[in-house]
C-alpha cells in the first residue's frame, strides 16, 4: 500500500511507526510540515521524505494550516497514495480533511483531543472538520477515543486503539545502569525519575515543588529529570533557589537505547502532566517494574490502580504528589516486588508494540477494501 504520512513533528514516536509500516512492505512517504530538514538518520530504510515548500509552527492556529492545502493537493496528485495517515487533529488531520482525500486515517496525539479542542471556537471547528472528514481513527487509549466520539461515532472496525507501547525485552528490570560519572547517587538514596520534557504541559513547577516538600521530610530522596525544554530557566532557577543542585540531577535527554538503564537506577517514577493519552514514559517505567505516581486523569487510570501498582495525585497539587512520593519511598521489599511484577505483567499483556501494531494494518486494509469497492 502507498501511504502518505502527514504530521507536524519528527519525534521518536513517529519514527517507530514509520519503521513498522516500512517493515510490513508498505511504501511510505513522510511529510513533516514543520521542517525543511530532518534529524540525521531519522528516516527508516524504505521511507521517502517529502520536503515541504512552506513550513508552519507546531503551535500555529488551525486557520494557518489551511494555507498548506494547495501544496498538499499537489503532493496527493504527485504521489497518488492509497491512504493518508494524518495527525495531530487540528493541524495535519484538519488540512488533510479539507483536501477531501479518502481514505483518511486521523491520528490523535492525545492532547489535541483532550486539551486543545477547547482552546476556542476555531480549534473546535478544526477538530470537527478533521473528524467528520476521517474514515478511520488511530488513538492510544479509551479516553481519547471517547473524546473523538463526542464529534463522530466511529464503528469499531474503523478504529485502531493501542498504546505506542514497548518493544519486547527492551525495557526490563535487569540490565546495565548509567555510567557512574553521570549518575552521582550516594548509597541508600531513594531516587525518582521523570523523563517528560520541560514544557508547560508537563508541569515541572508542580513536580519540583512536590519533590522539595518530600525531600524536607526525607533527605534520602533524589530526583533525576532526563529532559530539557522551553521552561528550562524556571527549572534551573527553582533548583538553584532551593539549593537542590546536589539532589536533583539534570543530565539532559538521553538516547532511547540508554533509557532503560536510567529507569533501572530509580526506585520510582513521577509525572505531573496536566493532560495525557497513554504516556509512553509511564509504560517504560512500568515495564522496568517501578512503582509510579502520576496525575489523576482518566487516561492514567486506564493503567494505574491506586495502591496496587502506583498512586494518583490531583493535577496541580504538589502536596498530594509529595505525599505519594513519600509513600513509595516507604515501601518495603515485599511491597516493591509485588508492584514490580504487576507492572511488568500489565505492560506485557496490554502494551506489546509488536503484538498490537497489526491493529493499525487491519484498519488500513479495511479502509482500502472499502474504498476500492466504492
How far from 211 is each of 206, 253, 306, CA to CA, in Å? 9, 20, 20
User: Is residue 76 situated within a structural domain?
Assistant: yes
Are 21 and 146 within one domain?
Answer: yes
Measured distance CA(234)–CA(205) in Å, rounded = 8
Q: Please measure the distance between the N-terminal and C-terminal CA atoms of the chain and give it in whole angstroms.
A: 17
Looking at residue 182, what is its pLDDT?
83
Helix (H, G, I), strand (E, B) or coil at 328: helix
Task: Give the domain extent around 227.
Answer: 180-350
State whether 101 and 207 are in the same domain: no
> Is the bond leading into 166 cis (omega within 30 degrees of zero)?
no
Q: List, in sequence order, the alpha helices (H) in the chain.
A: 12-23, 62-65, 69-79, 94-98, 111-114, 121-132, 142-148, 204-217, 232-241, 259-264, 280-288, 298-301, 318-329, 333-350, 353-356, 358-373
- Return averaged pLDDT per consecutive 10 residues of the chain, 374 residues in all: 96 94 97 93 95 93 95 98 97 98 97 93 97 98 96 96 92 91 87 97 97 98 96 98 96 92 97 96 98 97 96 98 98 97 97 96 95 65
Which residue, among 164, 136, 130, 116, has the nearest Cα to 14 in the 3D structure? 164
- Same domain? 145 vs 65: yes
Residues 6+ apart with CB under 8 A from 69: 95, 98, 99
Residue 171 domain-assigned? Answer: no
Judgement on whether residues 246 and 310 belong to the same structural domain of the protein = yes
For residue 271, give the 3-state DSSP assignment. strand
Question: Looking at the domain assignment, is residue 172 inside a domain?
Answer: no
CATH of the domain at 242: 3.40.50.2000
Given the DSSP bridges, would you call strands 159-161 and 268-271 parallel, antiparallel or unpaired?
unpaired
Check residue 372 and give its pLDDT.
Answer: 74
Residue 222 shares a structural domain with residue 97: no
Domain assignment of residue 299, yes or no: yes
* Residue 60: predicted pLDDT: 92
Total domains, the chain:
2
Do 206 and 316 sit in the same domain of this protein?
yes
- Give residue 187's pLDDT: 87
Query: What is residue 239's predicted lDDT score, i.e. its pLDDT?
Result: 98
User: What's the chain's length in residues?
Assistant: 374
Residues 148 and 232 in one domain: no
Give 66's DSSP letter.
G
Q: Does residue 101 lie within any of the structural domains? A: yes
- Please check whether residue 67 lies inside any domain of the structure: yes
Co-location of 28 and 98 in the same domain: yes
Query: How far is residue 226's CA from residue 82's CA, in Å, rounded to a whole number?
Result: 40
Q: What is the DSSP letter of 157?
A: G
> Do 214 and 156 share a structural domain?
no
155 with 254, same domain: the answer is: no
Are 59 and 82 within one domain?
Answer: yes
Domain contains 128: yes
What pTM did the predictor assign?
A: 0.93
In this structure, the answer to whether residues 184 and 101 fall within a common structural domain is no
Amino acid at each position: 500500500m502507498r501511504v502518505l504520512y502527514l504530521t507536524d513533528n519528527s519525534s521518536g514516536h513517529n519514527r517507530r511507526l514509520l519503521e513498522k509500516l516500512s517493515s510490513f512492505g508498505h511504501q511510505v512517504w513522510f511529510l513533516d510540515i514543520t521542517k525543511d530538514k530532518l534529524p540525521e538518520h531519522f528516516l527508516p530504510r524504505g521511507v521517502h521524505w517529502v520536503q515541504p515548500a512552506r513550513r508552519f509552527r507546531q503551535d500555529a492556529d488551525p486557520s494557518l494550516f489551511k494555507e498548506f492545502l494547495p501544496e498538499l493537493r499537489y503532493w496527493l496528485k504527485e504521489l497518488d497514495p492509497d491512504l493518508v495517515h494524518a495527525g495531530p487533529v487540528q493541524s495535519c488531520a484538519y488540512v488533510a480533511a479539507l483536501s477531501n482525500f479518502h481514505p483518511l486515517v486521523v491520528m490523535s496525539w492525545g492532547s489535541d483531543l483532550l486539551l486543545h479542542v477547547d482552546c476556542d471556537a476555531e480549534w473546535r471547528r478544526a477538530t470537527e472538520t478533521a473528524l467528520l472528514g476521517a474514515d478511520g481513527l488511530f488513538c492510544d487509549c479509551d479516553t481519547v477515543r471517547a473524546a473523538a466520539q463526542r464529534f463522530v461515532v466511529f464503528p469499531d472496525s474503523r478504529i485502531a486503539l493501542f498504546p505506542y507501547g514497548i518493544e519486547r525485552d527492551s525495557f526490563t528490570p535487569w540490565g546495565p545502569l548509567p555510567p557512574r560519572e553521570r549518575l552521582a547517587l550516594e548509597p541508600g538514596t531513594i531516587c525518582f525519575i521523570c523523563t517528560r520534557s520541560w514544557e508547560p504541559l508537563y508541569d515541572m513547577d508542580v513536580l519540583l515543588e512536590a519533590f522539595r516538600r518530600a525531600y524536607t521530610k526525607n533527605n534520602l530522596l533524589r530526583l533525576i529529570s532526563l529532559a530539557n525544554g522551553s521552561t528550562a530557566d524556571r527549572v534551573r532557577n527553582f533548583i538553584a533557589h532551593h539549593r537542590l543542585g546536589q539532589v536533583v540531577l539534570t543530565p539532559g535527554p538521553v538516547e532511547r537505547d540508554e533509557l532503560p538503564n536510567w529507569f533501572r537506577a530509580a526506585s520510582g517514577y513521577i509525572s505531573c502532566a496536566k493532560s495525557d493519552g497513554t504516556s509512553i514514559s509511564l509504560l517504560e517505567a512500568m515495564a522496568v517494574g517501578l512503582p509510579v505516581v502520576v496525575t489523576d486523569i482518566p487516561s492514567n487510570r486506564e493503567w494505574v490502580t491506586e495502591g496496587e501498582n502506583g498512586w494518583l495525585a490531583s493535577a496541580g497539587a504538589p502536596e498530594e504528589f509529595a505525599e505519594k512520593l513519600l509513600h513509595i519511598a516507604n515501601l518495603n521489599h515485599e511491597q516493591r516486588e509485588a508492584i514490580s511484577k504487576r507492572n511488568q505483567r500489565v505492560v506485557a499483556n496490554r502494551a506489546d508494540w509488536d503484538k498490537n501494531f497489526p491493529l493499525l494494518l487491519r484498519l488500513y486494509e479495511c479502509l482500502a477494501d472499502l474504498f476500492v469497492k466504492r
